[in-house]
Structure formats: C-alpha cells, structure tokens
C-alpha cells in the first residue's frame, strides 16, 4: 500500500513539473543524459603543463539512482575546465534563476565546486581561470575553516563578490544551490530549497555607492534630552535618615567568659552591618517626560549615488562553465538549470529529494558493504574463482560496525 502511495505521489509530481514547465522559460537544462558530449567542450587549458584534469560521466560512488549520472572531476591536484554553449539570453526585465547540484564524495581538502555564466565570445578549448565571466556561484572549500559559498557578479568589467559570509555544505551528500536575481535587484540564495540568504544588490555588493550616508556634519541639538530617567523633584528625604548608622553592635554577641575588664578593657560587642542603613540618600528615579530617545547621526542622500536601473542586468549570457581547481578530485556536478521561474527550479529539487535523498543516504552509510557481502556469497556458492582478490578492510570504528575500502592487494586462497 505504501509503495502504491509513493508511486502515485511521484506520478503527480512529474505531472505538476511537466505542467509548470510549460509556463517557465527554460534557457538551459542539463542532466547529463544521452547526448551531453555534443553540448560540452573540454578545455585544453593547463593541459600542456600537465595540470589539466578530466571529467568522468558517472553517477558516483553513492548516488541514490545509479542511472542518474553527472560529471565528476577526475585526477587529483588538477585544474578542471569544461563549458557548454547556450542560446544567448538576457535577464533584462525578467527573473534569472541559476541552479545546479554538486556532491563532494571526496575529502576535497582544498578546492572549488562553483559554476560560471559567461558572456561574449569564448574559445571553449581555451576556457580557463582567466576567462571573464558575468556570474560565479557555488562552494569553495579549504581545510576545516573555509567553507565559503561564493557569489560574484560582474558589473562594467569588474568582479564584485557579495559582502556577506555565506557557508556551503560539506557532508558529502548531493546539495542543490540556487541563485535567484530579480528585476528590482533583489536576490535570494537557496540551498536544497531552503533560503540561505536574501537581500539587494544595492546593499550587499560594493557596486554602487550607497543611496544614504550618515551626515558627519550633524551635531546633537543643545536642547536634546536623552536622559530616559531623571530624579523625582518631589521626592523628600525622610526625617532622621542621615542619623541611621551604617553599622550597629551585634545584639547576639556575648562577652567571652575569660574577658577581664581590668586587664582587657571595657568589652564592646563587634559591629555588624545595619540592615536599616540604605546608604547615602538619593531621590528615586522617574520617567523623563522630555526624553527624546538616544540621539543618532541622521542619514542623508548620498550626493555620489547615481542610480542604475539596469544594475541587475548581466551581459547577455552565452555559455555555462565549470572551472575549478581541486587537491582531491571526485565532485559530481549535475542538474544544471538556467530559467526564469523559481517555482520550476523548486520542483526539480523537490523531485530529487522525494526520490533520491534517502536512498543516497543509505548507500553512503553502507559504503561498499553490500558489494563485499555479495562477492563473499559468490565465493561460497562457487561463482567466483578460487583465487580471489579480496578488499582489505579498515575497522576504524568497530563500535559502530563501520569500515572503509582501502585497496585490492590481498589474495585469499581456498
């Protein structure tokens, strides 16, 4: 019954996705299915120096669906560059949505996982780190400290990074990164359909001078009363208040038996704090009827601000590219989307999460356990040769029953 309900929900989701896509304008969508090679060009950048890496078309080690393949960086300590030409598009007067998924299967140590949108003519065979771009978006990881989510926009030939410190995901599962840019220059950043941040290009990038600035010439008016509380002028000191001593003899004290007044002098009880003593008298505080609040420097129009109604408009986009460097390779790129409808992008993420996420977690947690068990079963049943290359296991967490595949270098003789 449960499987039937799941199948029904999946069919409904696909129907809604298909229906909604008829209203969305999809400029580019790549799921790396058959024919992807005809769309993508691997760059020769850094190849003559022996520093260029390649890509594998694979689902990776722990995909939730073995048929759902992407592009995986291959070769450690290399530069990776590949791009696809797309129909030229402009985001003027329309919302721009850039979305893609990436899974860091490897202990990347240090490297990028971002994506770029390129404008103008690009020689795709020479596409590299020095190729101008209009937008760069995605993770950049280095060690345990740097887990940055880049968002860089180009304006009049200069690159401007977002001023916020955004963090990316590093748990080795597939994550979707979505950037939405609207005609009012507002933006949203989503990770797995959850808003990570939002704001405006006017305030979160140092592209234009701010609309408002503080008036450095302003001074607090002389009659500005910023005292929230004042002494009550009607409060009167009680009669005899000043005669109350701070200390009094301890009424519980007793003269010691061995005390001799002739030899020791007149005995006096020790002093203790007087509970009736309240300290120097002060008038009580009351709300100040003339309180105007804390004075703040006022904001004024910035004379250097000149608005650009096309601030959000990127140069016409002609290519989408992956250009990163990684110490350890193994990142899987997939589900690249450029469209004008955030809802369509959301549905793609929903589809993945509904059908792949839990299976991906199970495969990741299980590692190759199922494969090894299957191979051992094959030996018992005589389906595998007598001399068999068995994987060395590293029992690094026996309490949880976990182990990792290391290398195929030990023979088992039966």
pLDDT digits (tens, 9 = 90+) for 358-396: 999 998 888 644 444 444 444 444 444 443 333 333 433
Strand partners, 138: 150
pLDDT digits (tens, 9 = 90+) for 55-107: 999 999 988 888 999 999 999 999 999 999 999 999 999 999 999 999 999 98
pLDDT digits (tens, 9 = 90+) for 259-301: 888 888 998 999 999 999 999 999 999 999 999 999 999 999 9
- pLDDT on residue 63: 86
Burial-class residue 158 by CB neighbours within 10 Å (0-12, 13-18, 19+): exposed
Q: Taken in order 104, 175, 3, 31, is the CA torsion positive or negative?
A: negative
**C-alpha to C-alpha distance for 190 and 134, rounded to whole angstroms:** 20
**C-alpha to C-alpha distance for 155 and 188, rounded to whole angstroms:** 19
Residue labelled with tokens 């968002």: 151
Binding residues for an alpha-D-glucoside: 114, 116, 133, 140, 323
* pLDDT class of 169 with cuts at 50, 70, 90: very high
Sequence-distant (≥ 6) Cβ neighbours of residue 144 within 8 angstroms = none
Answer yes or no: are the C-beta atoms of 75 and 329 closer than 8 Å. Answer: yes
- Work out the percent of the chain whose per-residue pLDDT is above 90: 73
Number of H helices, E strands in the chain: 6, 26
318 sits in which H/E element: strand 317-326
Q: How many CB atoms lie within 10 A of CB 145?
A: 7
Q: Considering all CA atoms of the chain, what is the largest pairwise distance in Å, rounded to the nearest integer? A: 117
Binding residues: 114, 116, 133, 140, 323
Closest to 322 in 3D by CA, of 75, 27, 79: 79
Least confident of 16-25, 363-372, 399-408: 399-408
**C-alpha to C-alpha distance for 200 and 182, rounded to whole angstroms:** 9
For domain 26-207+310-367, give its CATH number from 2.60.120.200, 2.40.160.20, 2.40.40.20, 3.40.50.300.
2.60.120.200
Residue labelled with tokens 């029904």: 8
């Amino acid at each position: 019954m449960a499987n039937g309900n799941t199948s029904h929900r999946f069919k409904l989701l696909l129907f809604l996705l298909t229906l909604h896509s008829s209203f969305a304008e999809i400029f580019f969508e790549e799921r790396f299915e058959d024919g992807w090679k005809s769309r993508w060009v691997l760059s020769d950048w850094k190849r003559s120096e022996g520093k260029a890496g390649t890509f594998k078309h694979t689902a990776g080690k722990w995909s939730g669906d073995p048929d759902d393949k992407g592009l995986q960086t291959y070769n450690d300590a290399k530069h990776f560059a590949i791009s696809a030409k797309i129909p030229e598009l402009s985001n003027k007067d329309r919302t721009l949505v850039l979305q893609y998924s990436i899974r860091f299967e490897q202990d990347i140590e240090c490297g990028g996982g971002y994506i770029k949108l390129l404008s103008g003519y690009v020689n795709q065979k020479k596409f590299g780190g020095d190729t101008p771009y209009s937008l760069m978006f995605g993770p950049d990881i280095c060690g345990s400290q740097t887990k940055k989510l880049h968002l860089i926009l180009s304006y009049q030939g200069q690159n401007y990074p977002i001023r916020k410190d955004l963090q990316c995901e590093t748990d080795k599962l597939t994550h979707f990164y979505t950037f939405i840019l609207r005609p009012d220059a507002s933006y949203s950043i989503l990770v797995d359909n959850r808003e990570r941040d939002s704001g405006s290009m006017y305030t979160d990038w140092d592209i234009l001078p701010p609309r408002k600035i503080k008036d450095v010439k302003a001074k607090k008016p002389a009659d500005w009363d910023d005292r929230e509380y004042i002494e009550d002028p009607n409060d009167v000191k009680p009669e005899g208040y000043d005669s109350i001593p701070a200390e009094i003899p301890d009424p519980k004290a007793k003269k010691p038996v061995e005390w001799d007044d002739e030899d020791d002098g007149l005995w006096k009880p020790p002093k203790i704090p007087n509970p009736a003593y309240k300290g120097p008298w002060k008038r009580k505080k009351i709300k100040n009827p003339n309180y105007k609040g804390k004075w703040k420097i006022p904001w004024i129009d910035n004379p250097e601000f000149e608005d650009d109604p096309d601030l959000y408009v990127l140069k016409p986009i002609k290519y989408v590219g992956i250009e990163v460097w990684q110490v350890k390779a193994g990142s899987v790129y997939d589900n690249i989307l450029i469209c004008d409808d955030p809802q369509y992008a959301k549905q793609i993420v929903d589809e993945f999460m509904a059908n792949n996420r839990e299976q991906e977690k199970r495969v990741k947690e299980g590692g190759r356990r199922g494969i090894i068990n299957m191979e051992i079963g094959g030996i018992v049943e005589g389906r595998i040769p007598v001399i068999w290359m068995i994987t060395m296991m590293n029992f690094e967490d026996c309490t949880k029953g976990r182990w990792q595949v290391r290398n195929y270098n030990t023979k088992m003789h039966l």
